[in-house]
Structure 1
Amino acid sequence: MLGIVLFLGNIIGTGVWRAFADRTRNAEVIAFAQRLVTLTDWAFTLSGVVLILVGGYGMASAAGMI
């Protein structure tokens, strides 16, 4: 569950950050927002994907599929 929250929450959050940054039409603000989007993608989206994969493997193992 935590993996899904990290994965989807980060995708939605970064979309909002980027949309607000783009509305300013200020290149410095947009560049800063993009750096944060890239950083949070690596930190939160990647960790969310890993947790989802580990959870899926665990459920498949518990169900006797592996």
Structure 2
Amino acid sequence: MIEYLDVLRWLHILGATVLFGTGAGIAFFMLMAHRTGNAEIIAHTASVVVIADWVFTASAVVLQPITGYLLAAEIGWSIGEGWVVAALALYVITGLFWLPVIWMQKEMRDLARAAHANGLLLSKRYHVLFRTWFLFGFPAFFSVLIIFWLMITRPSLGVIF
């Protein structure tokens, strides 16, 4: 018999996997496209990345807090547990870096499309956006890694509220 708690755990792990996997995949493919310097390849890759971010990442972003809350309630963990509060704070930090990245990816896509259509090199604006996009990935990536660690180890950090 399938247990409610097992379904919640599965959904929460699935959401975390999609969130992390999509983020890592997007970063890899955007970096590889950027390294070509080819505006057509970058435009195409960025187009797919924008879609993937909306379909996969956004879905997981919504799923995670819902399944996390339901999971905590079912197990009896307080949302005020230190490790839960720390994980939620890191989740917010991740989101604060992810939201601007969505906008940057769209603009990089549009700039690459325009460069390709007009036979031009990628603009300075594109390169500034790419560097910013790349740097924003680090705090988001490491925050997610720490969230995984917190969820697995559930360290005793006391009750915050």
Partner of 2:14 in structure 1?
A: 2
Partners of 1:18 and 1:33 lie apart in 2 by 7
Q: After TM superposition, which residue ranges in structure 1, 4 or more long, deviate above 2 angstroms?
A: none
Higher helix share: 1
Deviation for aligned residue 1:60: 3.2
Partner of 2:45 in structure 1?
A: 33
Does 1 or 2 have the higher relative contact order (CA < 8 Å, sep 6+)? 1
Q: Deviations over 1:11-65 (max 9, x none)?
A: 0000000011011111010011111111000011011112211211202322275
Please, which moves more after superposition, 52-61 or 15-24?
52-61
Pair 8,61 (structure 1): closer, same or farther in 2 beyond 3 Å: same
Q: Does 1:42 align with 2:54?
A: yes
Tell me the TM-score normalised to structure 1 length: 0.88
Residue identity opposite 2:51 in structure 1: L
Partner of 2:24 in structure 1?
A: 12
Tell me the TM-score normalised to structure 2 length: 0.38
CA RMSD of aligned residues (A): 1.6
Partners of 2:16 and 2:72 lie apart in 1 by 17
Residue identity opposite 2:30 in structure 1: R
Unaligned runs of 5+ residues in structure 2 are 1-12, 80-161
Residue identity opposite 1:6 in structure 2: V
Partners of 1:59 and 1:26 lie apart in 2 by 46
Computing the radius of gyration from Cα coordinates, the structure with the larger value is: 2
Partners of 1:20 and 1:54 lie apart in 2 by 34
Identity, in percent, stands at 38
Unaligned runs of 5+ residues in structure 1 are none
